[in-house]
């Protein structure tokens, strides 16, 4: 019975990492579709989000079953509860990648992002993809250096997010209301994506060290 219990805990970890890999792929593909105005790539991201949702639901059911049948304590209890919370963050990251893809589909065949802020949004996308990759590595290895990298990338994205709002508020901003809305949403989706990656990193750090790191509020109040 104890061997089955340990196997169930190990399966939780494997499934959580698999969700993280799918989230990484989703953001990579969402960025590619956004930059190329590729509606077919966007549709793939949108349709494949269902797999992330299904895996998250399955993982949560496993975790609840372990809590109900095995009554874990101490480290095991923290692991199961943290896994439930991390799976929620990863599922939300998948949703945010899907939202970026939905912007591409909505504006096809036009590009979503105007030239004026394209470099900034590209940098935010690059950082979001790297955050997702670092989350995978962190879950695989529990090496907190990956958590430190996520923290640094999140700070970069917060600064870029603020620069988008400054660009929109500048006197020379001439985009249409629809484009302005799209840019605002894209920036917000990417900023929230990295915030959720930071949340996952904080929970892994807690499991490894026993210390809980509180979020530092950014200038947007998110």
Q: Burial code of 9-39, b = ≥16 C-beta within 10 A, e = fewer?
A: beebeebbbbbbbbbbbbbbbbbbbbbebbb
Mean pLDDT rounded to a whole number for the chain: 93
Tokens of residue 38, six digits: 């590729």
What does the pLDDT look like over 148-187, one tens digit per residue?
999 999 999 999 999 999 999 999 999 999 999 999 999 9
**Residues recorded for the chain:** 222
- Binned at pLDDT 50, 70 and 90, residue 14 comes out as very high
Token pair, residue 202, equals 């904080």
Taking phi over 0 as left and psi of -120 to 50 as alpha, with beta for the rest, 71 belongs to: left
For residue range 115-136, list pLDDT tens digits in order: 999 999 999 999 999 999 999 9
Summarize pLDDT for 53-92 with one digit per residue, the tens: 999 999 999 999 888 887 777 788 889 999 999 999 999 9
**Mean per-residue pLDDT for 209-216?**
68
Distance CA 38, CA 130 (A): 21
Confidence band (pLDDT; 50, 70, 90) for 217?
A: very low
Which pTM value belongs to this model?
A: 0.92
Average pLDDT over residues 22-40: 98
Contact status, residue 26 vs residue 48, Cβ threshold 8 Å: yes
pLDDT in the model for residue 214: 59
Model confidence at 144: pLDDT above 80? yes
Looking at residue 215, its pLDDT comes to 53
């Amino acid at each position: 019975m104890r061997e089955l219990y340990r196997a169930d805990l190990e399966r939780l970890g494997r499934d959580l990492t698999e969700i993280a890999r799918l989230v990484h792929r989703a953001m990579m593909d969402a960025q590619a579709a956004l930059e190329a105005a590729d509606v077919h790539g966007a549709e793939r991201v949108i349709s494949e989000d269902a797999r992330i949702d299904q895996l998250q639901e399955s993982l949560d059911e496993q975790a609840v079953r372990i809590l109900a049948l095995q009554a874990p304590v101490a480290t095991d209890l923290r692991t199961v509860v943290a896994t439930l919370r991390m799976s929620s963050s990863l599922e939300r990251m998948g949703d945010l990648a899907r939202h970026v893809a939905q912007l591409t589909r909505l504006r096809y065949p036009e590009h979503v992002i105007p030239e004026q802020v394209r470099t900034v949004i590209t940098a935010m996308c690059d950082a979001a993809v790297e955050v997702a990759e670092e989350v995978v590595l962190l879950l695989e290895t529990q090496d907190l250096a990956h958590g430190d990298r996520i923290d640094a990338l999140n700070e970069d994205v917060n600064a870029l997010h603020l620069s988008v709002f400054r660009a929109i508020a500048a006197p020379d901003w001439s985009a249409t209301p629809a484009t302005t809305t799209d840019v605002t949403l894209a920036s917000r989706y990417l900023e929230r994506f990295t915030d959720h990656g930071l949340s996952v990193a904080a929970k892994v750090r807690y499991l490894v060290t026993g210390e809980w790191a509180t979020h530092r509020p950014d200038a947007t109040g998110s």
